Amino acid sequence: MRFLLLLVTLLSVTTNTYADFTEDQMTMIVSSFNKLRSTVTPKILGDYNQISWSEILYANALSQTQTCQSNSLYSSAGAAGLYGESYSYFDNDPSVNDVQDTLSSPKQYYNYDDTECVGNHDCTSYTNIIWNATTQIGCSKNLCNGKTYVVCNFNPPGSFSGIQPYTARQHSSQSTMSYEESPNKIVNLNQRLVRREDDHIYTASVPSDGSFDWRDNGVVGYPKDSSNCASGWAFTAAGIYESRVAMRTRHRYDFSSQQLLDCINFSNFSITNYTKCSRFSGELNKALMYVQNYGLQSTSTYPYVGASSQGCSYNQSSIAVQGGDVEYSQVGRDSIIEKCRKQGPVGVGIFVTNEFLNYAGGIFQCNNTLIDNANINHNVLLVGYNQQDNYYIIKNNFGRTWGENGYARVTADVNKDCLIGKNPAYSVQI
C-alpha cells in the first residue's frame, strides 16, 4: 500500500515537466499585478509599493504545486500565515491575465472608499495583491489530474494576518477629500461658482474626448444596497447630489435616499398608483426637483430603512444640500455621455433583466430586440464611459457584492444597451 502511494506520488511528480511559468510570464505576472495596484479606485493618496518577483516565494509555491494538494490545501508556510497564499485550478493552461483575474477574485476595481474594510471587518476579498505592504510575489503552476493548479505566494502577507488595510477616509485623488459625517452647513448649489474653465475643480481632469471615469476623481460615493425596495431612482438622485457636492466642496457626503422615498408627494406631480418602493419610472426627475426646492438630509440624520419606514420625518434644520439646476440631456448615447463628461455623474434609465440581477462582472449586454417595447424599470448613476470598448460605467444600488464591486460595465451599443440610450440623462448643473 505504502509502495503504491509512493508510486502514485512519483508518477504525479514526473508529470511536472509540464511547463511552469516561463521567465517572460514571471515578468508579466509582476507587471500585471503592479498594474492592478494602480487601478484601485478611487485613486489612493501617494504611491503604491511596487511588487517584485521572489525566488524564495517561487520555491515555496513550486514545492506546493508539486504535491497537487495531496498533502494539504496550503503549503505549510501559507497555512502558518508566514506568506499570503492563493491557489486556483484552471481547465486549460491559463494566461497571466487569467491567473490575475482569478486570484484577484475577479473584480476589476477595488474600492477602499468606504467603511467596510476597517477595524475588525473581514476583508479577505481584498487580497494580498493590492496590499501596499506586500512587496513580493512568487507563483508556480503544475498539471494536476488534467487541470492546471496555480499557487501564488505573497510576502509580507496581507489580509490574512491582519496587516491593516487602507482606511477609507484617506483615499481619494484629492488630499482634501474626506467623508463629512456631520455637515455643519448647508451646501447651497445655487450659490454659483465663477465658471471659468480652469476654475471648475474637476472638469480639467476629464478629457474632452475619449474615455473618462469620475471615480478616478474621487467624487463618486460608494455603492449602496437598496435591499428589497425598488428605489434606484432615489439612490440615483442622492448619488448625483453626492457627486456635485464633492465637486464643489471637495468633501464627500452620504445623502439620504430614504427622505426621497418618504417625503416626496408624488400626487403633486400627477404620478398615480405610487407606492413607496415603486417600480415606476419618472421619479428620478421629480426627486431632483424635490432636492432643488426642499433640500436633502444626510444618511446620518435620515437613515435608510427601505420599505419599513413609518413615513416622512423630514427635519428642515438638518438639510445638508439644496439647489442646483435640474437638467436633462437629449435622448441617445452621445448626448448622455456628453452630459456626464461635462457635468459629472448623471442619472440614467435602464431596463433590468434577470441576467442583470445576477451580473458578476464583465461588459454586460442585453438583447434589445426582446425588450424594445418595455419601459425602463430602474435608474442607475452613470459615472464613466470607455470609448475604446464602447461601454458605460454605472454605479448600481445592489450592494458591493453585486457586479464589479457594486459597479457594472454595460455596452453602449444601441442594440444591446438595455435601453440606456433610449432615455435622457438627468443631471444637476452647479
Ligand X SMILES: *[C@@H]1O[C@H](CO)[C@@H](O)[C@H](O)[C@H]1NC(C)=O
Binding site for ligand X (CB under 6 A): 44-49, 132, 264-265, 267-268, 272-273, 290, 315, 317-318, 367, 369-370
Q: Nearer to ligand X by C-beta: 264 or 382? A: 264
Q: Least distance to ligand X from the beta carbon of 260, Å?
A: 10
Are 59 and 77 in contact by the 8 Å Cβ rule? The answer is: no
Q: Least distance to ligand X from the beta carbon of 264, Å?
A: 5
Three cell numbers written together for 231: 428605489
Beta-bridged to residue 404, according to DSSP, are 407
Three cell numbers written together for 331: 435622448
Are 346 and 427 in contact by the 8 Å Cβ rule? The answer is: yes
Q: Least distance to ligand X from the beta carbon of 170, Å?
A: 8
Q: Nearer to ligand X by C-beta: 190 or 367? A: 367
Task: Give the C-alpha distances (Å, rounded to integers) separating 115 from 131, 167, 265.
Answer: 17, 7, 33
Q: Nearer to ligand X by C-beta: 37 or 341? A: 37
Chain Cα centroid distance, residue 332? 25
Q: Least distance to ligand X from the beta carbon of 356, Å?
A: 15
3 sits in the region (left: phi over 0; alpha: psi -120 to 50; else beta) called alpha
Task: Give the C-alpha distances (Å, rounded to integers) separating 72 from 2, 63, 78.
Answer: 18, 12, 10
E strands in 103-234: 136-144, 147-155, 187-188, 212-213
Q: Nearer to ligand X by C-beta: 45 or 143? A: 45
**Residue tagged 400627477 (cell numbers):** 270
Quick check: helix, strand or coil at residue 309?
coil
Q: At what angle do helices 96-103 and 23-38 cross, to 10 degrees?
A: 40
Q: Nearer to ligand X by C-beta: 132 or 423? A: 132
Q: Least distance to ligand X from the beta carbon of 313, Å?
A: 7
Q: Nearer to ligand X by C-beta: 49 or 97? A: 49
Q: Nearer to ligand X by C-beta: 28 or 289? A: 289
Q: At what angle do helices 283-294 and 232-249 cross, to 10 degrees?
A: 40
Q: Least distance to ligand X from the beta carbon of 335, Å?
A: 26
